[in-house]
Amino acid sequence: MSSVQEVNPRVLGIRAPTSLQSLAAYITEQITQGTKKSFKKVIDVSSGDSHRAGMAPVSFVRQVLAVCLYPELFRVESLPLDVKLRAKRLLGGCGGGCVGSYSVTSCGLPLVQQSVAEFIMRRDGGVSSNPEEIILSDGSESSLSLVLHLMASGEGETQTGVLTPIPCPHTLPMLLDEAGVMLVPYQLREDRGWAVDLEELHRALKTARGRCKPRAIYISNPGNPTGFVQNRKTIEEVIQFAAAERLVLLADEVHQDSVYGQGSEFVSYKKVLFEMGKEYSETVELVSFHSISSACMGECGLRGGYMEIINMDPTVFKYLRNLLAYLSPTVLPQLVLEIMVNPPTPGDPSYKTYTQEILLTQTTVAQNAQRACEVLNDLPGMSCQPATGGIFLYPRLHVPPLMIEEAKSLGVEADVLYCQRFLEEEGVCLGAGCENGQEDKKYHIRLCVLAPPVTMEEVLARLRSFHLRLLS
């Protein structure tokens, strides 16, 4: 990539997904109005919206929310006792005992903050977690946006920069741009399953200096959209790099409940940080993010999440809390978040059903990822690195030269044109790789595997038919 591409997301080909989403909505409207298509409805597997794709919500979550919203349901005998007890507990943590009240504090409901802290300590083997360092918000993107705005400063050579993986979550470039922060790309290694490469981090940082002032590094683990799960050695290297270069670590760990690769396990950045000794645990600034949009909850539309802030300067943290005084996180998502981090336990009436539903989701993601990877790698002109976690596959397209020329004439990337044609002809909405960022003259598509198996099989069948027809 050229030096200009190093710091300019637009040159990297990163674009908002509105065009494909708009086309999907237009085709859906055509079908509604009676236009005949070879398909009955559009299947959207471009994003992580599992409920839109047909996955069922978790029963315990919806039951508890229902009671909280309509307390008359406390009288319904058919509802499990633990549902009613949880609803009573959650309502007790709300202002006035009602979900219609504002959040008790600008950082969220103290009851939920405490539950999140206890979850983190269980997850990380007893590593201490302070509820006052946990900020609840209307989703992880909202949290990240707040932190980016907090760090944003300067112009030209002094403008704040954030080291950002390429490919990255498709909404991240827009968040950086809105905050006035420069995207400093570092390329993930596709030939190593989309691994983070330490030499590439140093190269990206060296190239950026003189053009902006790098202040943070963003990490997605498990990778979005790559499906790569970082091992402890990689995490240690990234922490050491951040410490040496005085960078804030922004760790997106939203899909930590979805790790399925053989020999892979999720280890949080915080756990590794605190196991590296005081040299790191007391100095490296870390902000980690989690969300109810995770694979197992799938509650994307409710928009709830948290961030835990470690080692932030007290003055800066106080300023951040003052900023939050003008905001108030929505109450319902916080209740779902509490359930996510504090699920039913053995002996509870809802434990068996809850466990079965979570296991079904985890199994579905793992099997879909393996199945889809096999089908995609069997297609000529397509190659896909296997995912070991997360909810996406990010296969590479070897686009026919004629389509590349046609895309140029239309002023779009070749992978966008591929996705448009597939959507128009087969009724499936994929994500175009240029939304996530990619190297010049390399094209990808983004496929969410968090969908019912029958839906995934339909998507793969349509994709195979379209792809072979395109190459014939």
Which pLDDT value is given to residue 17?
39
pLDDT band with cut points at 50, 70 and 90 for residue 1: very low
CATH number of 93-341: 3.40.640.10
Which pLDDT value is given to residue 202?
97
As a whole number, mean pLDDT of residues 382-394 equals: 97
Task: Return d(Cα 80, Cα 38) in angstroms, integer.
Answer: 45
β 443-448/396-397 pair status: antiparallel
Q: Indicate if the pLDDT at residue 7 is higher than 60.
A: no
Contact by Cβ (8 Å): 200, 179: no
Tell me how crowded residue 370 is: count the other CB atoms within 10 A of its CB. 15
Which residues lie closer than 8 Å to 163 by C-beta, 6 or more apart? 184, 185, 186, 201, 204, 205, 208, 214, 216, 217, 218, 247
Question: Can you read off the two tokens belonging to residue 191?
Answer: 């030939």
Architecture category of domain 60-91 in CATH: Orthogonal Bundle (1.10)
Which pLDDT value is given to residue 13?
43
82: DSSP letter: H
Q: What is the pLDDT of residues 179-209, one digit of tens each?
A: 999 999 999 999 999 999 999 999 999 999 9
As a whole number, mean pLDDT of residues 370-381 equals: 97
As a whole number, mean pLDDT of residues 142-169 equals: 95
User: Under CATH, what is the fold of the domain 18-56+355-471?
Assistant: Aspartate Aminotransferase, domain 1 (3.90.1150)
Q: Indicate if the pLDDT at residue 68 is higher than 50.
A: yes
Which residues lie closer than 8 Å to 223 by C-beta, 6 or more apart? 165, 188, 194, 229, 230, 389, 390
Secondary structure (DSSP) of 136-172: EESSHHHHHHHHHHHH---SGGGSEEEEEEES--TTH
Q: Indicate if the pLDDT at residue 72 is higher than 60.
A: yes
Task: Return d(Cα 65, Cα 335) in angstroms, integer.
Answer: 8
As a whole number, mean pLDDT of residues 45-67 equals: 95
Contact by Cβ (8 Å): 54, 449: no
The residues spanned by each domain of the chain are 18-56+355-471, 60-91, 93-341
Contact by Cβ (8 Å): 227, 194: yes
Q: Which of 42-56, 231-245, 294-308, 437-451 has the highest mean pLDDT?
A: 231-245
As a whole number, mean pLDDT of residues 150-165 equals: 95
Contact by Cβ (8 Å): 235, 201: no
Which pLDDT value is given to residue 10?
36
Half-sphere exposure of 11 (CA within 13 A, CB side): 12
Give burial (CB, 10 Å; 0-12/13-18/19+) of 409.
Answer: exposed
Contact by Cβ (8 Å): 141, 168: no
As a whole number, mean pLDDT of residues 320-340 equals: 89
CA distances from 117 to 94, 156, 250 (A): 18, 40, 18
- The larger pLDDT score, comparing residue 72 to residue 319, is at 72
Which pLDDT value is given to residue 469?
94
Of 56, 21, 85, nearest to 348 (Cα)?
Answer: 85
